[in-house]
């Protein structure tokens, strides 16, 4: 029985749109489609890169889309032995190869398949999850891969699956006119790279342990700022105030919130001349507040001449108050 999904969710709309696009614009070199029972699990078949030890091979694999796709990247597993990648080991694509958060939502399954195909030609020396085998072994595995069958794909061989995609691509090219397939070729983004998910998790854990508490705090702050920026972009909000000003303002609010009883946090206040002698005790407090206000303005980058004017006003104000008091 097929699983029911919310077809109105952005993730489902994206998955359905990509599946439709893959069907309408087939490629003779690769194909991918979701399972009828689970739209989040796709199976792909691709040709080996031309001019390489994998050129005669047809390789089958599985794609798992996360619930938050396309905000997070899909993961891949090659099910067919190739001599390049370990079979049934999860692969993730990202910009850095270490943090899947760097995946770009604009990329899709087609872009990832083209990238995987190009990565087969790269050198696997020293790469975790990569296999160092001879060209003879890879050529032998390439020949054997054509008859590999997938039970989830109706028991069809890789040869049969890619043949259907090749025929569909030729038919689409004839219908749309020559040259259309070349115009729709997908280019691999230069910043896109590959990594194995289990190794990504190990590296992330090791980095967190080595960084200690300070490193964790920095990472938490960075993630918070990144999440805030993402939320602003999603809501169409454009930041017009430098983030440094916002950070300093937030720090001031935090200091005010953490002030202990008996302590005071400097805040700008208005001062009014008091003609009454009964307010004599308020004069030192007003002077202290104005001095604190002066220091606060200095920290914010106020010109020094304003500070001098304020100091002169304080002296004049004190003199006026004393004159009123002595006059009475």
> Of 255 and 41, which is predicted with more confidence?
41
CATH fold of the domain at 10-204: Ubiquitin Conjugating Enzyme (3.10.110)
The reply to whether 153 belongs to the active site is no
* Residue 260 scores a pLDDT above 70: no
Model confidence at 246, pLDDT cuts 50, 70, 90, reads: very low
> Of 186 and 225, which is predicted with more confidence?
186
Beta strands 58-64; 41-47: pairing state: antiparallel
pLDDT, position 308: 87
Domain extent listing, the chain: 10-204, 271-328
> Of 204 and 298, which is predicted with more confidence?
204
**Alpha helix segments (H runs only) across 121-196:** 135-145, 158-176, 180-183
Q: What is the mean pLDDT of the chain?
A: 73
Residue bearing tokens 């002030």: 259
Alpha-carbon span 165 to 307, nearest angstrom: 78
* Residue 69 scores a pLDDT above 60: yes
pLDDT, position 90: 83
Per residue in 261-273, pLDDT tens?
A: 444 444 544 544 5
* Residue 63 scores a pLDDT above 90: yes
């Amino acid at each position: 029985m097929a699983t029911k999904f919310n077809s109105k969710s952005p993730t489902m709309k994206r998955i359905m749109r990509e599946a439709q696009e893959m069907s309408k614009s087939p490629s003779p070199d690769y194909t991918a489609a979701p399972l009828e029972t689970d739209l989040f699990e796709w199976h792909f078949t691709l040709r080996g890169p031309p001019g390489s030890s994998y050129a005669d091979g047809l390789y089958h694999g599985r794609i798992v889309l996360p619930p938050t796709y396309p905000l997070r990247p899909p993961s891949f597993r090659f099910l067919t032995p190739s001599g390049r990648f370990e079979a049934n080991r999860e692969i993730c694509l990202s910009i850095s190869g270490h943090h899947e958060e760097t995946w770009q939502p604009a990329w899709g399954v087609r872009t990832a398949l083209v990238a995987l195909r190009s990565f087969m030609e790269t050198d696997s020396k020293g790469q975790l999850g990569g296999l160092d085998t001879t060209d003879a072994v890879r050529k032998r595995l390439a020949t054997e891969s054509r008859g590999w069958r997938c039970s989830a794909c109706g028991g069809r061989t890789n040869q049969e699956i890619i043949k259907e995609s090749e025929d569909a691509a030729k038919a689409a090219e004839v219908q749309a006119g020559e040259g259309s397939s070349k115009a729709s070729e997908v280019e691999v983004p230069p910043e896109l790279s590959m990594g194995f998910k289990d190794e990504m998790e190990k590296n992330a854990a090791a980095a967190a342990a080595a960084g200690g508490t300070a490193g964790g705090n920095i990472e938490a702050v960075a993630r918070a700022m990144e999440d805030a920026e993402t939320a602003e972009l999603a809501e169409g909000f454009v930041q017009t105030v430098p983030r440094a000003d916002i950070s300093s303002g937030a720090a001031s609010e935090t200091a005010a919130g953490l002030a202990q009883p008996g302590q005071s946090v400097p805040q700008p206040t208005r001062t009014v001349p008091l003609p009454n002698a009964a307010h004599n005790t308020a004069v030192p407090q007003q002077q202290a507040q104005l001095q604190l206000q002066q220091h606060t303005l200095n920290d914010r980058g106020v010109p020094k001449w304003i500070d001098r004017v304020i100091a002169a006003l304080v002296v004049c104000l004190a003199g006026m108050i004393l004159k009123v008091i002595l006059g009475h």
